[in-house]
Structure 1
Amino acid sequence: METRRKFVQKGLLGIAAAGLAGRAFASAQPENEARTNSAKGFKFDLAIAGYSFVKFGLDDALAMMKRMEVRYLCIKDFHLPLTSTDAEIAAFHKKLADSGVTGYGVGPIYMTKSKEEIDKGFEYAKRVGVKLMVGIPSQDNLPYISEKVKEYDIRYAIHNHGPEDKLYPNATTVFEAVKNLDERMGLCFDMGHNTRDGQDSIKDLERYQHRIFDIHFKNVTAATKDGKTCELGRGVIDIPRFVKTLQKIGYQGKCSLEFEKDMTDPLAGLAECKGYFQGVVDSLS
C-alpha cells in the first residue's frame, strides 16, 4: 500500500510536469483531464469551491485553477454578484471558458430573511445557467423552496456548517429537514464541518448518498469544534476510505475543494490537496 507521502509526491509531480509542458486548455467543456482517471472507471470531478478564493479577484482565482489544472468552479457572488446583468454574466462565462473552466453551480447563498431572497436566488441561478444552487435557508421557508425547485428544475443543496451552526450543523440535520420534500432538495455535504460536529462523515456519505448533490471536499485537524481545515492528507478523516466510498456509491457530483487554512495564500494547499487526491485515486486502480 502506498503511503500518504507517495500519494502527495505522485500528484504534485504530475502538476509540476503539466506546468513545465505549458499545456493550454482548449475549451470549457473538459473531456478526460477533469474527470480523474476516467479511463480506469473513476468518475470523480474535482472542483474548487469559490469561497477558497474569497481574498482574490476572478482573474487571480482562474490563474490558480489553471496552474492546478482544475476545471470546475462553484461560483460565489463576490465573483459574480446576484445583481449581475445578462451581459455581465455572459462576459463572466467567456472569461471562465478562456481559462478552460466551467461554472457548475452557485453558492452558498444565504436565504434566511425572506421569500424575496429565495426568488432572487433562483432567478440568479437560472440566468447564470446552472442546475445546482448551494443555499443556507431558514427552515420555515423549506416548503417554499421545494416549490421553487419544481418550478425551476434546479437542485438545491443545503450546506452544513458545523457545531457553530444552529440550523444545519451536520448532514443528518439537513437530511431530516428535506427528506419529505422534493427529491431535488438535498445536501452540499461539508465533510469537514460534519466531522467537527462529531459525526462520521464516511458513514454519512453512504447513509445520505441519494441526497448528496455536492461535496465540500476537505480534511480537519480534529473531530471537535476546535478542529481546523487542513490539507487532505493531514487530517483525521480517512480520505482513501472516503474516496473508496465515493466509488462504492457511484457518486456523480463534484468533489469541490474548499481550503480555509490560509485564505490569503491558498494555492500551495490546494495544489497539495489535488495531488494527494490524484494519488489516492491512482492507488485504487
Structure 2
Amino acid sequence: MKTLKSLALLAAVAVAGCLSTSAVRAADYEPVVGLQTWTCRNMKFDEVVAFAVKHKLKQIQMIGSHMDPNAPPEETKRKLAILAEKGLACYTFGVAGTSPDKEKNRKLFEFAKLVGCKLIVVEPKNDKALWDGLEELVKEYDIKLAIHNHGKDSVYGTPEKVWSVLKNRDKRIGVCMDVGHITGAGFDAAKAFREYEGRVYDIHLKDKKIEKVAGKDVMLDVKIGTGSANYKDLLAELKKANWNGVMAIETDDKGFANEPTEFVATAIEYVRTNKP
C-alpha cells in the first residue's frame, strides 16, 4: 500500500512538474525571426551573410541564387563553413523547384541532408504521382516538406487547396504559410494557422494591403504590421501552440528588395514589441 501511495505521489509530482514546465514555456515563449533571402535577391551570398549578421538573424532560408541545390558539394561546403563561422544556419531552402521525376527530386533531399536542413519549402503541381514520389522521399530521408502558398488563384492559394494534399499524406508534409499571400487571398492568418492543426512548419513574415493603382485594387507589400495581416492574433496562436518554427522575413516588393534594411529592421522590431 505504501508503495502504491509513493508511486501516486511521484506521479502527482511529475504531473505538477510538467504543468509547471509548460507554464514556464508559455511565459517565456520567444518567436524565432529569420530571413528569407528572396528579400535580399539583389545581393550576392557574402553580402547576404553580412546583412544577416548585421541584423542578428541567425536562421536563414536560402533561395537558389544564394545556395544552389545543383551546385557541386564542395561549393556548398564552402558556404556552410562561412555560415558556421558567422554563427548562422541555413535551416531550409526554397521555394525549391520539383520535377515529375522522383530521382530528380532526390537531389533536393540529398542537398538538404548535406546542409543539415530538416525541412524543404516546395510548391509542386498538384499531381498525385508527383506527390507519391515526394512522399516516398520524405519517408526515406525523414525530411519534412512545407507547401508554400502564393496568390488565391495559384495552385495552393487557399487553405482548402493545401488540405487537399495534406489530408491523405504523411504528417511530415505540411505548410509554409506565407502570411502576406494568405491575407491577400482573403483569409485570416491566425485562423488558418489554427485550422492547419499543427501542420504549419514554416512562416513567411510578410504583410499586404489593398491600394489603388491606376484605378484598380492591387495587393501591395507593406512593412510588417502596417497592412491587413492579423499578426496580433497570429502571434498569440504561435505562443499558444509553443510553435518552434521560424518566421522568415520576406518581401516581394522591388523597392524593399533594392534596399531591405529598413523593411527588415521594422519587421524585427514589430515582432519584438508585439509578441504576447
Instruction: State the shift of 1:66 in Å.
Output: 1.5
* Aligned residue identity for 1:226: V
Distance 1:229 1:101 in 2: 27
Specify every segment of 5 or more residues in structure 2 that has no aligned partner in the other structure, as ranges: 1-24
CA separation of 1:87/1:41 partners in 2, compared to 1, >3 Å: closer, same or farther?
same
Question: For 1:59-105, what per-residue CA distance to the aligned partner results, in whole angstroms no more than 9, with x for missing partners?
Answer: 11121111211111012211111222222222111111222211111
| Range 122-131 or range 266-275, more displaced | 122-131
1:234 counterpart = 2:226: yes
Number of the residue aligned with 2:136: 147
Larger Rg: 2
Distance 1:136 1:40, change over 3 A: same
Question: Would you say 1:132 and 2:132 are equivalent positions?
Answer: no
Aligned positions of 1:246-261 closer than 5 A: 246-261=238-253
Q: Which amino acid aligns with 1:42?
A: Y
Please state how far the C-alpha of 1:259 moved relative to its aligned partner: 2.2
Alignment pair present for 1:222 and 2:214: no
CA shift, 1:181, in A, is 0.6
8 Å contact kept, 2:40–2:257: yes
Between the aligned partners of 2:217 and 2:57, the Cα distance in structure 1 is 30
The answer as to 2:158 corresponding to 1:170 is: yes
Unmatched runs of 5 consecutive residues or more in structure 1 = 1-37
Q: 1:1-285, aligned counterparts within 5 Å?
A: 40-140=27-127, 141-165=130-154, 167-222=155-210, 226-261=218-253, 262-281=256-275, 284=276
User: Greater RCO between the two (CA within 8 Å, min separation 6)?
Assistant: 1
Distance 2:185 2:132 in 1: 26
Kindly tell me the number of residue pairs found equivalent between the two proteins: 244
C-alpha distance in structure 2 between counterparts of 1:266 and 1:229, whole Å: 13
Letter in 2 for 1:183: K
How far is the alpha carbon of 1:113 from its aligned partner?
4.8
Q: Give, in whole Å, the separation in 2 of the partners of 1:43 and 1:168.
A: 29
Deviating more after overlay: 118-127 vs 247-256: 118-127
Q: Distance in 1 between matches of 2:158 and 2:38?
A: 19
Quote the Cα distance in structure 2 between the aligned partners of 1:155 and 1:225: 37
- Spell out structure 1 runs of 4+ moving beyond 4 A: none
> What is the rounded CA distance, in whole Å, between the counterparts of 1:191 and 1:175 in structure 2?
17
The answer on whether the counterparts of 2:98 and 2:122 sit within 8 Å (CA) in structure 1 is: yes
Corresponding residue SS for 2:258: coil
CA drift at 1:173: 1.3
The 1:163–1:117 alpha-carbon spacing in structure 2 relative to 1, beyond 3 Å, is farther
Q: CA deviation at 1:225?
A: 7.6
SS of 1:228 mapped into structure 2: strand
The answer as to whether partners of 1:196 and 1:226 remain within 8 angstroms in 2 is no
Structure 1: which amino acid aligns with 2:68? P
Is the contact made by 2:33 and 2:246 (CA closer than 8 Å) also made in structure 1? Answer: yes
Moved more, 216-225 or 149-158: 216-225
Deviation at 1:248, TM superposition (A): 1.3
Of 87-96 and 146-155, deviating more is 87-96
Q: Is the 8 A contact 2:208 2:221 kept in 1?
A: yes
Percent identity reads 27
Per the normalisation by structure 2, the TM-score is: 0.83
Mapped to 2, the partners of 1:94 and 1:116 lie a distance apart of: 28
For the 8 Å contact 1:196–1:225, the answer to whether it is kept is no
Taking structure 1 as the reference length, the TM-score comes to 0.80
Shift of 1:216: 0.5
Q: How well do the aligned residues superpose, as a CA RMSD in angstroms?
A: 2.0
Distance change in 2, residues 1:127/1:225 (3 Å): farther
| Cα distance in 2 between the residues matched to 1:218 and 1:144 | 31
1:205-253 Cα offsets, whole Å, 9 max, x none, are: 1100411100011111139982112111211113222111111122111
